[in-house]
Amino acid sequence: MRTQTKTISEINEKLLRGEAVVMTAMEFKREVRSGYKFRVSDVDVVTTATRGLMSGTSAMVVVPFGGRGTFRQADKIWLNGVPCLPGMGAGGGSGTVDTVIYGTAESIDCEGRYGGGHLMRDIVEGKEIHAEVLTDEGKTITASFTLDDLTFARMYSFRNAFQNYYAFANIKNHVSYRENMRSIFSCRSLPVMRGLSCAGSGELNPLENDPYARVIRAGMKILVNKAPGVVKLAEDEEPLPRGRYVRNGP
């Protein structure tokens, strides 16, 4: 049986002619899960673009709470339950609060299910936002607003200069991460220079898509931040259902 092949040049020509079959990764996976068996000739491009909110993502908005004299100064502020940062001298008798929203802040009402990133999206989409402020006099004042009510709203991201967000590794000469501390780096312990936790994009993560190392195999050469490396299973570990051990080297 002749192996089906397709070159990048052929695909580029089809793209220029507007004849290429392009699917998103989600669309492709949906068809596979439904039982369809793709041939090489069926699809030309599978896009894997995604988005993820990083800790450097923030926004600044001026939140209206009423007319002048409504309160003197804001000590704390929550938007849809998300704790935000009021500016110095926030309020000042103006009835508004200069507010900084951090993208990774979690709502006190829906911990783990709603946060700053969701809040920013809701604001941009024009949804009504519930605001609550605690004043320096101990009073609690509430209000609601939409994007149209804001005199100032800006979104900022300070970490977009990253070429890629590859992975976390334990390179310090002490005990494994997560054995004695709560760590965001890995769901498992990361032994010193023996483990790598890939920061991927859910099911678009190549390691998530190859849990049994059928494609990403031990001995395969890889680049990590442009540095050469080799995929390697730790000597005392069986193949893991998720994640792989990586050792830097030529």
Domain layout of the chain by residue ranges: 8-47, 57-157, 160-250
Separation of alpha carbons 21 and 28, rounded Å = 11
Element (H, E) at 28: helix 25-33
**Is the model's pLDDT at 234 over the cut of 70?**
no
Separation of alpha carbons 68 and 8, rounded Å = 64
Residue scoring higher pLDDT (183 or 137): 137
* Per-residue pLDDT at 95: 82
Separation of alpha carbons 202 and 170, rounded Å = 22
Separation of alpha carbons 37 and 149, rounded Å = 51
pTM over 0.95: no
* Per-residue pLDDT at 82: 95
Q: Which residues contact 43 (CB under 8 A, 6 or more apart)?
A: 21, 22, 23, 28
The confidence band for 243, taking pLDDT boundaries of 50, 70 and 90, is very low
| Three-state DSSP state, 216 | coil
Query: Nearest CA to 46 among 105, 6, 80?
Result: 6
Region of residue 16 (phi > 0: left; psi between -120 and 50: alpha; otherwise: beta): alpha
